[in-house]
Chain A
Amino acid sequence: AQTVTQSQPEMSVQEAETVTLSCTYDTSESDYYLFWYKQPPSRQMILVIRQEAYKQQNATENRFSVNFQKAAKSFSLKISDSQLGDAAMYFCAYRRGDDMRFGAGTRLTVKP
């Protein structure tokens, strides 16, 4: 089974600063997808960004970008110009077909 590891249970960042959340995964497949989801206290899982494994170019969505290192099986999320609304639990996820696996999550706190 594929495993997803987030080694940072909690992270903190000052408003307007940049923070990077780490994620590593284990797979023997070459074709898969990686995601970062955000879960605020409202509980709804919100897609932040996604990366297709066959694409070498790192995905970017406004203030959010990833550093995808396929050989190292690493998929980190960088949040630039952090805002108070970014405070949430962040889950890294691996998907192949309809089977999606999540990491344990990183709780991000944003300090004003």
Chain B
Amino acid sequence: DTEVTQTPKHLVMGMTNKKSLKCEQHMGHRAMYWYKQKAKKPPELMFVYSYEKLSINESVPSRFSPECPNSSLLNLHLHALQPEDSALYLCASSQDNSGSAKNIQYFGAGTRLSVL
């Protein structure tokens, strides 16, 4: 089972709304990632969690707030977003975040977010 599940698949929100994206994996992976992908562009790394601790924050605005409640679950809390934040948000997980050959990232299908 190499499944990373993201919910919801689609989300439309206003600029004053608060919403959350959810990502779940049951592969026993200890590293989880959030990426942002604009249309016709490659994914860009936002956050990395390793053993439930934030290890990388790629200068993401504070209106994006990640949370890792346990090793299987990763959330991305959204508040006061801008229309330019509309994108596909991808979650990924890997066994760990070391330089090991086993550190393959498995991706979810993403949440398509539209900010009005």
**Chain A contacts to B: CB under 8 angstroms:** 31, 33, 35, 37, 42-47, 50, 52, 91, 95-105
B43 touches A45 (CB 8 A): yes
Question: Is B105 among interface residues, defined by CB-CB distance under 8 A?
Answer: yes
Q: Which of A46, A47, A98, A102 contacts B97 (CB 8 A)?
A: A98
14 further A-B contacts with Cβ under 8 Å, apart from A35-B104, A45-B43, are A31-B99, A43-B88, A47-B106, A50-B104, A91-B43, A95-B103, A97-B97, A98-B103, A99-B45, A101-B45, A103-B42, A104-B41, A105-B40, A105-B42
Chain A residues closer than 8 Å to B56, beta-carbon distance: 98-99
The number of A-B residue pairs with CB atoms under 8 Å apart is 59
Q: Knowing A98-B31, A98-B55, A99-B45 touch, does A44 contact B108 (C-beta < 8 A)?
A: yes
> Nearest Cβ distance between residue A66 and chain B, in whole angstroms?
15
Within 8 A of A (CB), among B24-78: 31, 33, 40-45, 48, 50, 55-56
Which of chain B's residues has its CB closest to A97's CB? B99
Residues of B within 8 A of A (CB): 31, 33, 40-45, 48, 50, 55-56, 88, 90, 92, 94, 97-99, 101, 103-110, 112
In-complex Cβ contact of A97 among B44, B88, B98, B106 (8 A): B98
Closest to A31 in B: B99
Minimal beta-carbon separation of B64 from chain A (angstroms): 18
Q: List, in ascending order, chain B residues with CB within 8 A of A37's CB.
A: 107
Please, how many angstroms separate the alpha-carbon atoms of A16 and B100 in the complex?
35
| Majority SS at the chain A contact face | strand
User: In this complex, what residue of B is CB-closest to A33?
Assistant: B101
**CB atoms of A98 and B50 under 8 A apart:** yes
**Cβ contacts under 8 Å, B98 to chain A:** 97-98
Task: Tell me, rounded to whole Å, the shortest Cβ–Cβ distance linking A19 to chain B.
Answer: 20
Q: List 18 A-B contacts (CB under 8 A).
A: A33-B99, A33-B101, A33-B103, A42-B109, A43-B90, A43-B109, A43-B112, A44-B108, A46-B107, A91-B42, A95-B103, A95-B105, A98-B31, A98-B33, A98-B103, A100-B45, A102-B42, A103-B42
Kindly provide the distance from the CB of B30 to the nearest chain A CB, expressed in whole angstroms. 11
- Residue in B40, B101, B105, B108 whose beta carbon sits within 8 Å of that of A100 in the complex: B105
